[in-house]
């Protein structure tokens, strides 16, 4: 028996096709390209952890039988394709964020659709899942949540730990900028007295937040920083994020920091 991580796009991404997570769960057939790396090493009775591609771990299953080639695959997808029959499907009440456990996993490759794992990985994920559920960080839809106003207060009390301070108590939290600009979370100053816009997210975050924080930074730069001879930077604090956010933030020059919940 071997251990694997199967990754797929979020439910609905492929609509009602063979590839979509909803179809995979309803038909109990995990669909892959035949040439998918590691596909030929998967065998009946192997244990599988489900993961959203570049995202969270959310369930498990077992391989119920041998690989089945889809004889219509070439016609439908211009690829040789097929599926593994799966059984004992479990969808967890609470998802486990990748960033929370990645340092403890044997295989940290987040790009493979079929990634080799081991028993220790399963144990790490099981412990993390149970802790999150018992701490009541799990919503009924499986998402991770915290109260954002509580996060803001906790971050405000610990800004010194990341070398920041509030720019001004009167504009520190939930600052309404102007029509069309929106409402920021925290506006801070760094050690050089330059502005830092902190955007706090209490749930897993994707790349749409990059546009949001860039909008705040643009307003502050145009209306405050340029007049004062200061620079403006941005920091996103979140308990979990995906690869889309990492790449977008990297290109935009925005720092992403993982918000540890202790």
CATH classification at residue 223: 3.40.1350.10
Does residue 236 lie in a domain region?
Answer: yes
Residue ending a domain, among 99, 134, 169, is 134
Same domain, 112 and 13: yes
Give the total number of structural domains in the chain. 2
Chain Cα centroid distance, residue 118 = 22
Q: According to DSSP H, which parts of the chain are helical? A: 21-27, 73-77, 98-101, 119-134, 148-157, 208-220, 226-228, 243-252
Distance between CA atoms of 54 and 111, rounded to whole angstroms? 7
Q: What is the pLDDT of residue 172?
A: 43
Whether 231 and 109 map to the same domain: the answer is no
Strands 182-183 and 186-189: unpaired
Last residue of a domain, one of 134, 163, 193: 134
Could you tell me if 84 and 30 are in contact, meaning their C-beta atoms sit under 8 angstroms apart? yes
Q: Clarify whether residues 129 and 31 are in a common domain.
A: yes
Q: pLDDT tens for residues 77-120?
A: 999 999 999 999 999 988 888 877 888 888 777 678 999 999 99
Say whether both 128 and 171 belong to one domain.
no
52: containing domain: 3-134
Write the CA distances from 167 to 193, 228, 232, integer angstroms.
Answer: 9, 13, 12
Same-domain status, 154 and 130: no
Q: Note the pLDDT of residue 201.
A: 79
Asked whether residue 168 is assigned to any structural domain, the reply reads yes
Measured CA to CA, the distance from residue 48 to residue 22 in angstroms comes to 17
Q: Which residue stretches of the chain have pLDDT < 50?
A: 138-148, 172-174, 176, 178-181
Task: Based on the fold, state whether residues 191 and 215 are members of the same structural domain.
Answer: yes
- Residue 141: the pLDDT is 41
pLDDT the model gives residue 175: 52
Given the DSSP bridges, would you call strands 186-189 and 195-200 parallel, antiparallel or unpaired?
Answer: antiparallel
Instruction: Examine residue 139 and state whether it is found in any structural domain, yes or no.
Output: no
Residues 154 and 192 in one domain: yes
Of 74, 101, 134, which residue is a domain's last? 134
Considering the entire predicted model, what is its pTM?
0.59
Q: Rounded to whole angstroms, how far apart are CA atoms 37 and 43?
A: 14
Rounded distance between C-alpha atoms, residue 192 and residue 234, angstroms: 15
Mark whether 153 and 127 lie in a shared domain: no
> Would you state the pLDDT for residue 204?
67
Contact 203, 143 (CB under 8 A): yes
């Amino acid at each position: 028996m071997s251990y694997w991580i199967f990754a797929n796009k979020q439910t609905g991404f492929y609509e009602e096709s063979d590839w979509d997570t909803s179809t995979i769960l309803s038909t109990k057939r995990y669909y892959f390209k035949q040439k998918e790396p590691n596909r030929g090493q998967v065998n009946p009775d192997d244990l599988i952890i489900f993961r959203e591609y570049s995202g969270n771990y959310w369930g498990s299953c077992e391989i119920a039988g041998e690989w089945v080639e889809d004889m219509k695959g070439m016609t439908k997808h211009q690829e040789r394709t097929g599926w593994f029959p799966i059984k004992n499907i479990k969808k967890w009440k609470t998802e486990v964020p990748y960033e929370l456990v990645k340092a403890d996993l044997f295989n940290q490759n987040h790009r493979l659709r079929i990634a080799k794992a081991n028993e220790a990985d399963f144990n790490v994920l099981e412990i993390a899942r149970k802790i999150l559920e018992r701490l009541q960080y799990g919503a009924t839809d499986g998402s991770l949540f915290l109260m954002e106003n509580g996060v803001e207060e906790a971050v405000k009390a610990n800004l010194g730990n990341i070398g920041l301070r509030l720019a001004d108590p009167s504009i520190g939290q939930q600052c309404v900028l102007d029509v069309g600009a929106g409402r920021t979370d925290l506006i801070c100053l760094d050690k050089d007295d330059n502005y830092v816009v902190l955007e706090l997210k209490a749930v897993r975050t994707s790349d749409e937040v990059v546009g949001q924080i860039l909008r705040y930074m643009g307003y502050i730069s145009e209306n405050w920083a340029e007049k004062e001879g200061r620079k403006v930077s941005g920091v996103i604090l979140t308990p979990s994020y995906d690869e889309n956010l990492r790449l977008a933030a990297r290109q935009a020059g925005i720092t992403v920091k993982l918000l540890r919940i202790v």
